[in-house]
Amino acid sequence: MRELLRHRLLWPVVVLVLLLLLNVIYNNGFLSIQVKDGHLYGNLIDILRFGAPLILVAIGMTLVIATGGIDLSVGSVVAIAGAMACLRISDLGDQGAVGGVLGAIGVALVLCLVLGAANGVLVAAIGVQPIVATLILMVAGRGLAQLITDGQIITVNSPPYKLFGGGYWLTLPFGIIVVAVVVVLTALLTRRLALGLLIESVGGNAEASRLVGIRSRGLTIMVYTFCALCAGIAGLIISSNVSSADGNNAGLWIELDAILAVVIGGTSLMGGRFSLTGTVLGALVIQTLTTTIYSIGVPPETTLLFKALVVTLVCLAQSPAFRAKVFHRRRRRPPAPAPSDEIDEKVSVAT
């Protein structure tokens, strides 16, 4: 029982369950899922479907935050990916041609990879603070997206592209399948392979990682590239869902939601240990919150207020200073292990 209470995913799960319960109270049939025309329908499916882009972006963000960094540019990358894909598709002679659409998607994703790698190089090779390095693309990327779409909203009429974000496959919305694939692949890469361990090591103690021979530079570049790729896929889903690309508004604020999802999921902004499951839960909490606000009749405009509240509460809950000040019983626990090897070091960062 105590194990359970101290589990790091406890709180996101509790919040998610409470939100779902709230919905059930307002709408008894909230949890029901029906099959119509071979497609699954229901509120839960909708939460997953509309939450798909956020989950994707948040997955990439999780790895970046685990290295001790942050990526503010994902929103712009979302817009760029959608814009690039729609531009290429609208140039096709036959917008229904699967090969052409795949080519367009490929071009868009390669562009995202390049942008992500640029972020990574700025952070890892040039040594710019992550928040600053990615701020550049956050600002310029919006302009780039609008440049690609020439300031217009590009509309496409391409059934194969529509499938990506709006279609169904095996009774499920295609976007959910994409997310599932990415999440499973990421989990395999990080947990089956050793990527996760090395990332956590770099984020947890960069100098120690250098001294055990981890190539943190390459690793960091890779992680930022991966984050941009995730954002790119999310951008494709978003733009495919509405069959158009809007350089100005696509992915607006998604970087903030993604960071929020990661933090709710229990990954510390200081880097180190990360939890993909936690991030997925965090993203679902945010998406469910949005849905809930709509369904229980609170004006949708208040979503931002709730988010502000959630950010504050989650950060306060994670802040050691806050816990120390509010819960005095912390003192009764055994104090932090002996600084035995430190008691004779400099006071350079005393207090």
Partner 1 sequence: MAAPEPILRMRGIGKQFPGVRALDGVDFRLLPGEVHALMGENGAGKSTLIKVLTGVYEIDAGQIELAGRPVAFSSPLAAQQAGISTVYQEVNLCTNLTVAENIFAGREPRRMGRILWREMRRRAAELLARLEIDVDVTAPLSSCSLAVQQMVAIARAVDIDARVLILDEPTSSLDAGEVAQLFRVMRRLKDQGIAILFVSHFLDQVYEIADRMTVLRNGRLVGEYRTAELPQVELVAKMIGRELAELKALEDRPPEPDGAPLIEARELSRTGAIQPFSLTIHRGEVLGLAGLLGSGRTELARLLFGADHATSGTLRVDGKETALRTPRAAMGHGIAFCSENRRAEGLVPGLTVRENLLLALQATRGWARPLPRARQEELVEKYINALNIRPADPEQLVRNLSGGNQQKVLLARWLILEPRLLILDEPTRGIDVGAKTEIQRLVAELSGGGMAVLFVSAELEEVLRLSHRVGVLRDRRLVAELENGEQLTTDRLMETIASGAAS
Partner 2 sequence: MTTAGLRRGLLRGRRPLPRRYVPVLVTTGLLIAMFAAGGVRYENFATGQIVLNVFVDNAYLLVVAIGMTFVILTGGIDLSVGSVIALSTMVSATLISDGWAPLPVIGLVLLMGALLGLGMGAIIQYFEIQPFIVTLAGMFLARGLCYVINTESVKITDPLIVALGETHVPLGPELWVSPSVIIALVVLLAAIYVLQYTRFGRGVYAVGGSEQSALLMGLPVARTKMAVYTISGFCSALGGVLFAFYTLSGWSLHALGTELDAIAAVVIGGTLLTGGYGYLFGTVLGVLVLGLIQTILNFEGTLSAWWTKIVIGLLLFAFILLQRLIGARGGQAPPTPS
Instruction: Extract the tokens encoding 180.
Output: 């599932």
Picking from 266, 297, 340, the residue whose alpha carbon sits closest to that of residue 65 is 266
How near is the Cβ of 312 to partner 2 at its closest, in Å?
5
- DSSP string for 1-50: -HHHHH-TTHHHHHHHHHHHHHHHHH-GGGG-EEEETTEEEEHHHHHHHH
Span 169-208, contacts to partner 2 by CB under 8 A: none
How near is the Cβ of 45 to partner 2 at its closest, in Å?
28
Query: Which of partner 1, partner 2, none does 142 bind, CB closer than 5 to 8 A by kind?
Result: partner 2
Give dist(CA 221, CA 293) in Å, integer.
38
How near is the Cβ of 269 to partner 2 at its closest, in Å?
6
Of the residues 21, 197, 298, 305, which one makes contact with partner 1 according to CB under 8 A: 197
Give dist(CA 186, CA 196) in Å, integer.
9
- Regarding 315 and contact with partner 2 (CB under 8 A), the answer is yes
How near is the Cβ of 258 to partner 2 at its closest, in Å?
12
Picking from 229, 126, 235, 85, the residue whose alpha carbon sits closest to that of residue 175 is 235
Cα torsion 141, 107, 174, 282 to 10°: value is -30
Give dist(CA 342, CA 244) in Å, integer.
59
- Regarding 8 and contact with partner 1 (CB under 8 A), the answer is no
- Regarding 200 and contact with partner 1 (CB under 8 A), the answer is yes
- Regarding 132 and contact with partner 1 (CB under 8 A), the answer is no
The span of 132-140, 189-197, 256-264, 299-307 binding partner 1 (CB under 8 A) equals 189-197
Nearer to partner 2, 273 or 307 (CB): 307
Give the dihedral sign, CA 196/200/206/211: negative
Of the residues 177, 214, 242, 315, which one makes contact with partner 1 according to CB under 8 A: 214
Q: What angle do helix axes 74-91 and 43-66 make, rounded to 10 degrees?
A: 120
Instruction: Extract the tokens encoding 46.
Output: 């909708």
How near is the Cβ of 61 to partner 1 at its closest, in Å?
19
Instruction: Please give the residue ranges that form the binding site for partner 1 (CB under 8 A).
Output: 192-195, 197-198, 200-201, 204-205, 207-215, 219, 272-273, 334-335, 337-348, 350-351
Residues that bind partner 2 (CB under 8 A): 68-70, 126-133, 135-147, 150-151, 247, 256, 259, 263, 269-271, 299, 301-308, 311-312, 315-316, 319-322, 325, 348-351
